[in-house]
Amino acid sequence: MTRLLGCVASAAVIMVCGVVMSVKAGEIVGDPTIEVDADGHLHISSGGSSSDSRIYLNGVDVLGELAELRAEYGQDSAASTPSATTPPASTTPFSPTDPPVVYDQSVGCNFIDVPTNVTHIKGSVDLNTCTSLQASDLQVFQRLVRIDEDLRIAQNGALAHLDAFGRLTTVGGSLYIQANKALMDIDGLGMLKAIGGDLFIFVGWDVRPGSGNSRLASLGGLHQLSTLNGYLSIYENKALTTIDGLSNVTHIGGNLHINV
């Protein structure tokens, strides 16, 4: 029996066309599936219980080709002879990525109540004048994908980078990066694609020498940002030499103010 799936589109906007699931006659068959997990990994199952089940992609027997490659490089024989130094291959089935974790409140300088695997914060994240806040303290946000309201990072004198925000794609409100005198880059915002409000990168109200984002030399971390529905204001960042990081912005909903 052969099952043909025409085109399958996922919520992550991945489309697979022309995939053929082939199983033997009389075999116990479940529904073939094509799924995308939370990290964007594509999982294809023939639904068959036999080792002879096949998945054809553009006419290529994917499982057969993989088996031949394993045999060619000796992986099959190595896996079939367990030893003290080579444990047998695990038979544990694939476990999908943990489901999204939503925190429905705003977050300030105290992260005690924030789940360590939070992916969605429905309030704001206000890191404003957090005493001795360092980049290592932000690991609670390492799986964060969306903030519904504002993200404010302001007046944190010891904060050198924002790498913990490496999965953040959307800020529903405004993004403020203000007066962080040790901040060297914002590369940690490299996945950010949309800001629903304003983008302010500025000195803030402290105009003393050495205040502001005085070490920030590049906006390269914003290279994936395409949509900004509010104002764009960049001013009084003395080390900033280029704004090339904003080259993919296609929409600004408010005024544009740049005075480095």
pLDDT tens profile 150-167: 999 999 989 999 999 999
Residue 4 is predicted with a pLDDT of: 44
Distance CA 180, CA 79 (A): 53
146 neighbors 172 (Cβ within 8 angstroms): yes
Same domain, yes or no, for 115 and 231?
A: yes
- 215: pLDDT strictly greater than 50: yes
Which of these ranges, 181-195, 203-217, 239-253, has the smallest mean pLDDT?
203-217
Query: pTM of the prediction?
Result: 0.62
Strands 60-61 vs 54-57: parallel, antiparallel or unpaired: antiparallel
Assign 95 a pLDDT band (cuts: 50, 70, 90).
very low
Same domain, yes or no, for 148 and 46?
A: no
184 within a domain of the structure (yes/no): yes
- 71: pLDDT strictly greater than 50: yes
Same domain, yes or no, for 106 and 74?
A: no
Q: 171: helix, coil or strand?
A: strand
Question: Number of structural domains, the chain?
Answer: 2
- 249: pLDDT strictly greater than 90: yes
Residue 10 is predicted with a pLDDT of: 44
Q: What is the CATH number of the domain that holds 121?
A: 3.80.20
Torsion angle defined by CA atoms of residues 37, 42, 48 and 54, in that order, rounded to the nearest 10 degrees: -170
- Mention every residue, 6+ apart, whose C-beta is less than 8 A from residue 47: 3, 21, 23, 29, 30, 31, 32, 33, 53
Residue entry with tokens 């502001």: 212
Same domain, yes or no, for 224 and 113?
A: yes
92 within a domain of the structure (yes/no): no
85 within a domain of the structure (yes/no): no
Same domain, yes or no, for 46 and 159?
A: no
Same domain, yes or no, for 45 and 120?
A: no
Rg over CA atoms, the chain: 25
Same domain, yes or no, for 134 and 237?
A: yes
- 225: pLDDT strictly greater than 80: yes
Domain limits for position 165: 102-259
86 within a domain of the structure (yes/no): no
Same domain, yes or no, for 113 and 64?
A: no
235 within a domain of the structure (yes/no): yes
Closest residue by Cα to residue 225 from 255, 256, 257, 199: 199
215 within a domain of the structure (yes/no): yes
Same domain, yes or no, for 73 and 11?
A: yes
Average pLDDT, the chain: 77
94 within a domain of the structure (yes/no): no
Distance CA 5, CA 17 (A): 7
Residue 40 is predicted with a pLDDT of: 63
Residues 159-185, mean pLDDT to the nearest whole number? 94
- Mention every residue, 6+ apart, whose C-beta is less than 8 A from residue 80: none
Burial of 213 by CB count in 10 Å (0-12 exposed, 13-18 middle, 19+ buried)?
Answer: buried
Residues 26-34, mean pLDDT to the nearest whole number? 60
The rounded Cα 128 to chain-centroid distance in angstroms is: 24
176 within a domain of the structure (yes/no): yes
Distance CA 36, CA 11 (A): 8
Residue 164 is predicted with a pLDDT of: 96
